Amino acid sequence: MLKKIDIIKREMLEGKSYAVVAAELDMPRQTIVTITRQKQQIMRQSTKNDDG
């Protein structure tokens, strides 16, 4: 699962749409959306923590 998340992250950075990524990974589009949103929240939280 973690490998898929890395792939999703890379594909999204390349500017691919959720639908394209979902089709390539054979996953539901909603799953991709959820994973990317969670990733963004985690990244935001980690930057908040870095600021002190």
Quote the pLDDT of residue 27.
Answer: 84
Q: What is the DSSP string of 7-45?
A: HHHHHHHTT--HHHHHHHHT--HHHHHHHHHHHHHHHHH
pLDDT in tens, 5-51: 788 778 877 888 888 888 888 889 898 888 888 877 777 777 776 65
Quote the pLDDT of residue 51.
Answer: 58
CA gap 6, 17 in Å, rounded: 16
Quote the pLDDT of residue 46.
Answer: 72
Residue with tokens 């089709």: 23
Quote the pLDDT of residue 15.
Answer: 83
**Do the Cβ atoms of 47 and 40 come closer than 8 Å?**
no
Quote the pLDDT of residue 19.
Answer: 85
